[in-house]
Amino acid sequence: MTRTIPDNADLGQLRAQAKELRRAAANGNPAALARVRAALPEAGVDLSLRDAQFTIAREYGQPGWRELAAAVVAQQSGGRDLHRWFGVELNNGTWDVLDGGLSEHSPVGDREQALYAAYASTYHWMQVGTVANHGRGECTIASVAVAVGLLDVAARHAARYQELIDAHPAAFADWDRAFAAECRARVAARSGSPDAEKLVAEAHRLAEELADPEDRRIVLERLASGPWEVVDTSGLRA
């Protein structure tokens, strides 16, 4: 049965619905599996986030997630402040994909979509945001690029994040410095650089010194998560 997009639709809530559907399908929930298979007849329990989002979109009568997002944007914004809206949504969606295990072994389409979304989010923030928003966009691009094994791209954007912090120190928070260190350390580690160990230690030091416990927890969790191993790009498709 097709659902109507509610007047107070929120793409973040719809994305949360997709995550919950994915978890329920992975746990073998019959109702969740029936919903998925109504949209994707060949789907199994090993559902990707994109498949779950596609299912949600079809339930709302849209051909895909992109179209559902566009419909919600038009409804929410009335054409106002779209740069800010897309900056937030594209950034949040990109980190969802990163947290879902994006890697150099992910399908080419998934890698491309995450990288292009990170660039697009940064572009939108550069139109309406602050230098801090720009810098954090550079961090997102670097994080995607290092995850998918594009180490030269990652190094360039991680360095740009640090450059912006150095040029405008008052515009950034203390956690920006910790995240910038984490970005550079991860690029070095995945590149096999001899500086990696020193940079990782510096990132941990900056994280431990953060005044806010929640900021400290977030950065330390990021440091504890993969990937950190040296990238082997032999045999990978571009």
Domain extents for the chain?
A: 11-76, 81-224
Give the whole-number percent of the chain exceeding pLDDT 70: 95
Q: Indicate the pLDDT class of residue 222, thresholds 50, 70 and 90.
A: very high
The answer to whether residue 192 scores a pLDDT higher than 60 is yes
Closest CA to 113 of 185, 54, 33, 189: 54
**pLDDT (tens digit per residue) in 120-146:** 999 999 988 999 999 999 999 999 999
CATH 1.10.287 fits 81-224, yes or no: no
**pLDDT (tens digit per residue) in 66-86:** 888 878 877 776 655 778 888
The answer to whether residue 41 scores a pLDDT higher than 70 is yes
Q: What span, in angstroms and rounded, lies between the C-alpha atoms of 222 and 160?
A: 20
Is this prediction's pTM over 0.85? no
Q: What span, in angstroms and rounded, lies between the C-alpha atoms of 131 and 133?
A: 5
**pLDDT (tens digit per residue) in 83-122:** 888 898 899 989 989 988 899 999 999 999 999 999 999 9
